[in-house]
Chains A and B, each alone.
Chain A
Amino acid sequence: EAGVTQFPSHSVIEKGQTVTLRCDPISGHDNLYWYRRVMGKEIKFLLHFVKESKQDESGMPNNRFLAERTGGTYSTLKVQPAELEDSGVYFCASSQGGLRVAQYFGPGTRLTVL
């Protein structure tokens, strides 16, 4: 069974540009989460989808971040316009079968904003 995949693996952009990250969860997983790790800090929650619906976006830093999950399958996270402090590793995770179960992570997208 394929795991969570993310694209791109790396992205280097300049301040003010737009970047879109993509996550494909494990097939059949209704829950999809985005997390971020900035340098020197712990991994932090950004938002949660159940199928195509946003359940919790309390971790989104500000309105420059927009997440979507078209048709309840893959998800995108767009940053527009990017700022220096957005640099970090963005992880996607998915799960199925309830909210207490373990989540499975993708390899992450390393975003560098210059």
Chain B
Amino acid sequence: RKEVEQDPGPFNVPEGATVAFNCTYSNSASQSFFWYRQDCRKEPKLLMSVYSSGNEDGRFTAQLNRASQYISLLIRDSKLSDSATYLCVVNMANQGGKLIFGQGTELSVKP
């Protein structure tokens, strides 16, 4: 079983759609959580950190449920520029801060 599992994708949605990504992690010792975005042949870029209380940044909302070891990302009013691969990432701070990545979910927003 992978340590971080994401929806396999790809997701193909029209502009303006709302899209949700789901992620589960297996190690309860995971200590911090992130969504990164990766464009084709580019590096991962931090989209947002994820907190238990939930957090929002514009059109993006992230949620964490520690009890069920589940993380989500919601994108509202999707734009063409949101097309990318979204990576669910957990931080093992008790193991020196190394990041554990999901395999990513590809999103394609069409006109």
Interface string of A50-77 (1 = CB under 8 A from B): 0000011001000000000000000000
- For residue A22, which residues in chain B have a CB less than 8 angstroms away from its CB? none
- For residue B55, which residues in chain A have a CB less than 8 angstroms away from its CB? none
Residue with the greatest number of chain B CB neighbours at <10 A, chosen from A42, A99, A103: A42
- For residue B2, which residues in chain A have a CB less than 8 angstroms away from its CB? 42
Find residues 72-105 in chain B having any chain A CB closer than 8 Å to their own CB: 87, 91, 93, 95-104
A114 adjacent to chain B (CB < 8 Å): no
Report which of A59, A100, A107 forms a contact with B42, defined as CB distance below 8 A: A107
Q: How many chain B residues touch A (Cβ–Cβ < 8 Å)?
A: 25
* A44 CA / B102 CA spacing, docked (Å): 9
* A104 CA / B45 CA spacing, docked (Å): 7
Q: Is the CB of A45 within 8 A of B32?
A: no
Interface string of B18-49 (1 = CB under 8 A from A): 00000000000001101000000111111001
Q: Is the CB of A48 within 8 A of B98?
A: yes
Residue ID in chain B nearest A4 by CB atoms = B43
* A69 CA / B97 CA spacing, docked (Å): 18
Q: Is the CB of A44 within 8 A of B101?
A: yes
A84 adjacent to chain B (CB < 8 Å): no
A87 adjacent to chain B (CB < 8 Å): no
- For residue B102, which residues in chain A have a CB less than 8 angstroms away from its CB? 42
Report which of A103, A106, A110 forms a contact with B99, defined as CB distance below 8 A: A103
Q: Is the CB of A35 within 8 A of B99?
A: yes
Residue ID in chain B nearest A106 by CB atoms = B43
Question: Which B residues have a C-beta under 8 Å from some C-beta of A?
Answer: 2, 4, 31-32, 34, 41-46, 49, 87, 91, 93, 95-104
Closest A-B pairs by Cβ, 3 of them? A99-B97, A105-B43, A99-B93
